[in-house]
Amino acid sequence: MATQSHYEELARQLSAIGTVKRGLGRVLPTDCPAGAAIVLMLLDRYGEMRMSKLAELLDIDMSVTSRHVAHVAERGWVDRKADPLDRRSRLLSINPSGEKLLRQVSERYTNALANCLSDWSDEDVDRLNELLARLRAGFGDTRSRALPHQVESTTRTPSQ
Amino acid sequence: MATQSHYEELARQLSAIGTVKRGLGRVLPTDCPAGAAIVLMLLDRYGEMRMSKLAELLDIDMSVTSRHVAHVAERGWVDRKADPLDRRSRLLSINPSGEKLLRQVSERYTNALANCLSDWSDEDVDRLNELLARLRAGFGDTRSRALPHQVESTTRTPSQ
DNA sequence: TATTGTTATACTCTATAACTATA
DNA sequence: TATAGTTATAGAGTATAACAATA
């Protein structure tokens, strides 16, 4: 296990990462905020899925997912059809219009990164990608272990 | 320079980092949102400074900085005094009450990270810290180069 | 009854613009 | 006039709770 000072520095680095996310956000096309872009990426990468599955991949509440999806559906970038197996569910899929927009988004993200990170090698980017994936996995798999401090002093069963 | 697919993966990783930030946010004490915590960290690390300097370190607009500072000042965690050299300015500094809270925040952040990243070595955390710092530097130093796409087709002088 | 998804409400973080006090 | 900081307003992202439709 790493020592405390290293974790403190990591906490600071993560607190400051907003700079980068805002920088990337500025290159997005009109009417396509970051939340919409991620939805398109995930539907493109993993194919047709339900709302609930998408919410799980996004790791956000389904109520929020619902709003992101409404946004992209209203603009004709994804299709929603009834799930024949369960009429409560909706099956989401990216359509050609959405794919076209996604290509634009990817290109702009890539250009922005290439611009700002012109001195990075493939290996540098790879290492960062791997570490970020590992970081997310650590948090994603352990959400119940990262509960607020109040839990410590109670005996109740952790929610969910 | 790295190739396109590596940058695309990085864009996806960055889009998904919110999971980690939300996880860390959940361990914060009541009345101390993430924005307040960063202000305390920076005042503790760099000492007394003006609003404008703090806004620069945070890399956010001074109007936003002003609200974060008002929050922590109202709760008695930082002091604001008039700058004798320029009565328009205010000098900010963390006080003992703020230092006490900051120790609590650091401890909780560290515990959360130690919990979720129990299999990470010091070297792993170091590498991630270095890459994140480099990533931010790339964006921070080149904000004018990462402007929205509209700029490309004009001849006007970049703002600022 | 339980689950899928939507909507209403509220909170955090951010930016732009208008404003004040001072330089 | 220009600058330091504040406040008003608006938009994006999120969570919780109440709800409708279906299982």
Render each residue's pLDDT in chain A as its tens digit; 160 residues: 788 889 999 999 999 999 999 999 999 999 999 999 999 999 999 999 999 999 999 999 999 999 999 999 999 999 999 999 999 999 999 999 999 999 999 999 999 999 999 999 999 999 999 999 999 999 874 333 333 443 333 333 333 3
Q: Which residues contact A110 (CB under 8 A, 6 or more apart)?
A: B4, B7, B8, B11
Q: Which of A8, A115, A120 sits opposite B106 (nearest CB)?
A: A8
Residue A60, CB, strand D, below 7 Å: yes
| d(CA A66, C1' C7) / Å | 10
The CATH code of the domain at B25-137 is 1.10.10.10
Cβ contacts of A112 within 8 Å, gap of 6 or more? A23, A24, A27, B146
Residue in B13, B59, B152 to test binding to A, most A beta-carbons within 10 Å: B13
- The backbone region for A69, taken as left when phi is positive above 0, alpha when psi lies in -120 to 50, beta otherwise, is alpha
In the three-class reduction of DSSP (H, G, I as helix; E, B as strand; rest coil), residue B60 is classed as coil
User: pLDDT (tens digit, 9 = 90+) per residue, B36-95?
Assistant: 999 999 999 999 999 999 999 999 999 999 999 999 999 999 999 999 999 999 999 999
What pTM was computed for the model?
0.87
- Say which nucleotide is closest to residue A52, CA to C1' distance: C4
Q: Minimal Cα–Cα distance from A121 to chain B, Å?
A: 5
CA distance B29 to chain A (A): 8
DSSP string, A22-41: HHHHTTSPTT--HHHHHHHH
Q: Which residue of A has its CA nearest to B123?
A: A2
pLDDT at B1: 76
Contact A12, B110 (CB under 8 A): no
**The nucleotide closest to A22 (CA, C1' atoms):** C14
> How many Å apart are A85 CA and D21 C1'?
15
Question: How many Å apart are CA A42 and CA A58, to the nearest integer?
Answer: 8
Instruction: Identify the pLDDT of residue B151.
Output: 35
| Cα B127–chain centre separation | 19
Amino acid at B61: D
- How far is residue B81's CA from residue B50's CA, in Å, rounded to a whole number? 10
Per-residue confidence (pLDDT) for residue A114, from 0 to 100: 93
Nearest to B125 among A10, A34, A106 (CB): A10
- Whole-Å CA distances, A122 to A49, B21, B133, B134: 32, 26, 17, 15
Give pLDDT, residue A17. Answer: 95
Q: How far is B103 from chain A (nearest CA, A)?
A: 11
Interchain proximity B131–A128, CB inside 8 Å:
yes
Q: Closest nucleotide (CA of A61 to C1')?
A: D15
**Nearest residue to B4 (alpha-carbon basis) of A111, A39, A124:** A111
Report the CATH number of the A22-140 domain.
1.10.10.10
Residues 79-108/B with CB < 7 A to strand D: 80, 83, 86, 88-90
Note the pLDDT of residue A1.
76
CA atoms B101, A12, B144, B16: torsion sign = negative
Assigned token pair, B42: 């920076």
Rounded to the nearest angstrom, the minimum Cα separation between B90 and chain A is 24
Å from the B8 CA to the D10 C1': 31
CA distances in angstroms from B124 to A41, A119, B64, listed in the order given: 28, 22, 34
Q: Burial of A96 by CB count in 10 Å (0-12 exposed, 13-18 middle, 19+ buried)?
A: exposed
Tell me whether residues A10 and B113 touch, CB distance under 8 A: yes
